[in-house]
Structure 1
Amino acid sequence: MRDVFAAMFADARDRLAGAPREALGELIRPRRVLGIARAERIVPRGTAWHLGALLLTDTAVLATGDVVRSRQEVRRGYTAAAQRRRAELAAAARRGGFAEGETVHIGWRVLDTTDASGAASAPLAIVRGVPSVRWSAQGGYMPLRSYLDERIALLRDPPAGA
Structure 2
Amino acid sequence: MSVADLFDDARARLSEVPREHLGEIVQPKRILGVARAVRVAPRGHVWRLGVLLVGDDGVYSVGDVIRARAEVRRGFTAEAQRHRAEVAAAARRGGFEEGAVVHLGWTPIDLTAVQAGRVSGPLATIDGVVSVRWSAGGGYVPLEAYVEERLGLAG
In the TM superposition, what whole-angstrom CA distance separates every residue of 1:96-130 from its partner, at most 9, and x where no partner exists?
A: 01111111111111111111223xx1201001111
Secondary structure in structure 1 of the residue aligned to 2:130: strand
> Residues of 1 paired with 2:62 and 2:55: CA distance?
12
Per the normalisation by structure 1, the TM-score is: 0.89
Q: CA deviation at 1:148?
A: 0.4
Structure-1 residue corresponding to 2:132 = 133
- Give the aligned CA root-mean-square deviation in angstroms: 1.3
Q: 1:35 to 1:80 in 2, by over 3 A?
A: farther
Deviates more, 1:28-37 or 1:91-100: 28-37
Listed as ranges, the matches of 1:57-96 within 5 Å are: 57-96=55-94
> Residues of 2 paired with 1:101 and 1:141: CA distance?
33
Q: Which amino acid aligns with 1:139?
A: G
Per the normalisation by structure 2, the TM-score is: 0.93
Q: CA deviation at 1:149?
A: 0.8
Deviates more, 1:28-37 or 1:105-114: 28-37
Q: Which amino acid aligns with 1:58?
A: D
Q: Is the 8 A contact 1:4 1:131 kept in 2?
A: no
Q: Which amino acid aligns with 1:73?
A: E
Structure-1 residue corresponding to 2:43 = 45
Moved over 4 A (4+): none
> Residues of 1 paired with 2:14 and 2:23: CA distance?
21
Structure-2 residue corresponding to 1:109 = 107
> Residues of 2 paired with 1:10 and 1:125: CA distance?
19
Q: Is the 8 A contact 1:68 1:86 kept in 2?
A: yes
2:15 counterpart (2, 13, 17): 17
Q: Is the 8 A contact 1:134 1:140 kept in 2?
A: yes
> Residues of 1 paired with 2:73 and 2:35: CA distance?
19
> Residues of 2 paired with 1:85 and 1:31: CA distance?
21
Structure-2 residue corresponding to 1:122 = 121
In the TM superposition, what whole-angstrom CA distance separates every residue of 1:121-140 from its partner, at most 9, and x where no partner exists?
A: 12010011111011111111
Structure-2 residue corresponding to 1:160 = none
Q: CA deviation at 1:35?
A: 4.1
* Residue ranges of structure 1 left out of the alignment (5+ in a row): 157-162
Q: Is the 8 A contact 1:67 1:105 kept in 2?
A: yes
Q: Which amino acid aligns with 2:122?
A: P
